[in-house]
Amino acid sequence: MSLMKKLQRQKKHIVRDGEKPAAKKVEAPKEIRHWETWRAAGAELFEFEGEYCITRETHHPLDTLHGLYTFSEAQKTIAQWSSFSGHHPLSAKGFHPSDLYFFDIETTGLSGSGSVIFLLGTARIHDHQVTVKQFFLPSPGNETALYAKFLQETDYTTLVTYNGKSFDWPQVKSRHTFVRERVPALPAFGHFDLYHASRRLFKHTMDSVKLVNVEKEHLGLERVNDVPGHLAPIIYFDFIDRGDPEGVLQVMKHNERDILSLITLYTHISRLVLDEEGGSDDQTTLEVGKWFEASGNRAAAKESFQNAAKSSRDDVALDAAFRLAMQLKKEHSFEEAVQLFTRVRQAGADRSIEAAVELAKLYEHKWKDVPMAARETKWALQQKQENPAVEAALLHRLCRLEKKLSK
């Protein structure tokens, strides 16, 4: 029987939300089935209080090219954060490249108390190589050994994940509660979540920012002979049934690729943020500026908006011009702000009504020019309105301005 047919037979064993596996006392076997296959793949056995887990470690030279960058380039880019001024959610300032733990898990289900983590993997960039460590659960009754070993080897102060805040970390916390009396407490952690970063920067070019899609579109990676992630639970239960690690080793390779791709993705996004020229396209440059703006780094945001405002794409240039004008207004550079607000308003762009309102505010409050403020407000009211609240606010403003004019 082929591996795929055997996997199909195991579908009924996948743990779904709300289901709990039957309690079963598991003792560490004296002899593991197919151990020679495990050993040939570089696996080792870790025993703890009568339980055991399987660990595997692989190494990659720094000159290894994974997508767009070598790991040596990744190391240099991470170190480049040390000269970055200001705040940013992905800033590694104050950390050595080896402080970052690139982390991913494989589970028997998407969520719920019945979902079990059967594989945890990390990667670190050392001075001369990248080291990937993987911790495998040979059966659900061995979680104490799994977490004892994992916590012994891992520091959560600087996790780098893909949707780890919403998925990986909550899963770890949930499973840890079952063994917390016998293993160390989960440490406090910092977190760089590249899923949210990818959504912010790439959603304008992609329908889905799944990691495999980001790899292909932005990282120069396309997987060949890779086990799809949705088959991982089936493969795991096939292993529980037969003990043959053939399929599991393929899942471990998939997990390793995921983790190494996190290094490449962190490098790529960091370069988009840190490079003076901004993003690889004008829209990305604008998105980087918006990210700086949301992070409170106004100086860096201003520079990105200045670059994006030169775009040949009107939608990008005008959005950037409006945001830059708002920055200049906060800096009391009112004349420059008016020029940009006027540019946006005259273009009849999406933000033209907002620009007219900002012009009206400046004319009324900065220069006490009520007729000009009224003119800008009337112009805004003449435009097609899709938001009743905006129209009501404009009518209220115009009414107040006309009262001033009548005095």
Range 3-12+28-274: architecture per CATH: 2-Layer Sandwich (3.30)
Q: Which residue has the tokens 């969520």?
A: 111
Report the predicted TM-score, pTM, of the whole model to 2 decimal places.
0.86
In this prediction, residue 190 carries a pLDDT of: 64
Residue 31 pLDDT class (50, 70, 90 cuts): low
In this prediction, residue 218 carries a pLDDT of: 94
Which amino acid is residue 368, in one-letter code?
K
Phi, psi of 37 (to 5 degrees): -65, -45
Q: Is the pLDDT of residue 22 over 60?
A: no
Query: 202 with 209: CB under 8 angstroms?
Result: yes
In this prediction, residue 349 carries a pLDDT of: 74
Cα(221)–Cα(214) distance, integer angstroms: 9
Q: Is the pLDDT of residue 65 over 90?
A: yes
CA-based nearest residue to 75, from 131, 126, 133, 122 = 126
Phi, psi of 208 (to 5 degrees): -135, 135
**Which residues on adjacent β-strands are paired with residue 129?**
61
Phi, psi of 25 (to 5 degrees): -80, 120
* The CATH number of the domain covering residues in 318-406: 1.25.40.10
Q: Using CB atoms within 10 A of its CB, is residue 8 exposed (0-12), middle (13-18) or buried (19+)?
A: middle
Residue 111 pLDDT class (50, 70, 90 cuts): low
Domain boundaries along the sequence of the chain: 3-12+28-274, 318-406
- Ranges 126-140, 241-255, 280-294, 330-344: which has the least confidence: 280-294
Query: Going by DSSP bridges, is the β-strand pair 101-107/159-161 parallel, antiparallel, or unpaired?
Result: parallel
Cα(201)–Cα(266) distance, integer angstroms: 13
Q: Is the pLDDT of residue 318 over 60?
A: yes
Choose the most confident range, by mean pLDDT, from 1-5, 32-36, 317-321, 345-349: 317-321
Q: Do domains 3-12+28-274 and 318-406 have the same CATH topology?
A: no
- Ranges 91-105, 111-125, 182-196, 389-403: which has the least confidence: 182-196
Cα(186)–Cα(156) distance, integer angstroms: 8
